[in-house]
Amino acid sequence: MKTTKQLLGAVSAVALVAMSSTPALAEGTSAGTTITNNVSVSYNVGGVAQNAQTATDSFTVDQRVNVTVTAITTPVSVSPNQTNRVLAFDVTNLSNSTVDFALTTALAGGDAADISNIRIYRDLDGDRVLDDAELAAGPITFLDEVAADASVAVLVVSDISINAVNGDTFDVNLTAAAHASGTAGTLGGVLSGTAGGNTAGIDTVLFDGSGVADGDNDGRFSAQGRYSVSGALLTVLKSSRVVSDPVNLTNNPKAIPGATVEYCITVANASGAATATDVNLVDDLPDDVTFASAFGIFVNGDATCSANSGTAGGNFTAGAGVGGRDRVSGALSDVAAGQTRSLYFQVTIN
């Protein structure tokens, strides 16, 4: 009984329990790290120190896969018939390991007939612009060996159809899907969550959130950029009025041979549209009329081509038109939203 009491006393006389961990477990610890925990127990028996008792436990940190995609420049204003228009994105690896990311795009909104050639480039200098160096490097389909916490600048590049009109929008999704790393230059296999209980090896846990076209914990993340078309909405009208004839002169003149007719060509841009620049008019005259050189050509007139509303300008070129017709041409100033400009000239009926 005495021995039992002494043993119990020894157990109750534990002097120190020391625990250490190398390295310390913290959020973001790299996958594959071995965390070792040591415990040391010292004690006395009969007031005399005994050999300390120790124990060790080790486990391996599992892979937590997380990715986010961020649209940087959106919406981007584009014009009809523009090529290589850029939507900039960042793909960030929030995993605790190096990961490959497969990249895909999808048109989520807008008429597919008016946007084409959608492709992805790595933004080598991070300036959010498609430069010669990126064009030379060519399009990509995945990001290779992206380190933990690294962010990669990516450019989604598209061509806009000439038939796109002011107010059209095109929504383009960029999705990054996590794949295993390990072989430089090669996209690894798709990462999926490890089923069942924790194993002794490196398990995989999908930790990503939901983007615009994906769900939680699916190893993918998507973001959306938008192209917004800013185009001119031009309406072109051509009208004529009889100025005089050989019989009635200017008193109710009729369109008879020898009569003078004034052509009025108007270009109107709708309210809210983009400014139309480099507006050039080309008019090939019918064979039945002759250009009235004495009157000349007037540009930048008003909506009715009223007298003195324009300034002398334009060009007449005999035989330069289709089929050898005489040609009248002229350049208008920029036509802003809500503006109307005109070109007018006179001819004589043969």
Domain ranges of the chain: 2-61, 65-229, 234-349
Distance CA 200, CA 9 (A): 39
pLDDT at 67: 96
Q: By the 8 A CB rule, do 342 and 310 touch?
A: yes
Q: Which residues contact 42 (CB under 8 A, 6 or more apart)?
A: 14, 15, 16, 18, 49, 50, 52
pLDDT at 270: 92
**Within 10 Å of residue 179's Cβ, how many Cβ atoms?**
21
In tens, the pLDDT along 101-125 reads: 999 999 999 999 999 999 999 999 9
First to last CA, the chain: 141
Stated length of the chain: 350
pLDDT at 6: 37
Q: By the 8 A CB rule, do 297 and 268 touch?
A: no
Identical fold for domains 65-229 and 234-349, yes or no, is yes
pLDDT at 9: 37
Residue with tokens 């007018």: 344
Does residue 323 sit in helix, strand or coil?
helix
The CA angle 284-288-289, to the nearest 5 degrees, is: 65
The fold adopted by the segment(s) 234-349 is Immunoglobulin-like (2.60.40)
pLDDT at 200: 87
Count Cα atoms within 13 angstroms, Cβ side, for 119: 13
Rounded to a whole number of angstroms, the CA Rg of the chain reads 39
User: How high is the mean pLDDT of the chain?
Assistant: 91
pLDDT at 122: 98
Task: Name the β-bridge partners of 71.
Answer: 89
Q: By the 8 A CB rule, do 103 and 121 touch?
A: no
Residue 34 amino acid letter = T
pLDDT at 73: 83
Distance CA 300, CA 333 (A): 7
pLDDT at 13: 40
The fold adopted by the segment(s) 65-229 is Immunoglobulin-like (2.60.40)
pLDDT at 28: 78
pLDDT at 4: 38
**Stretches in the chain below the pLDDT threshold 50:** 1-27
Q: By the 8 A CB rule, do 341 and 300 touch?
A: yes
Distance CA 248, CA 266 (A): 28
Q: Which residues contact 197 (CB under 8 A, 6 or more apart)?
A: none
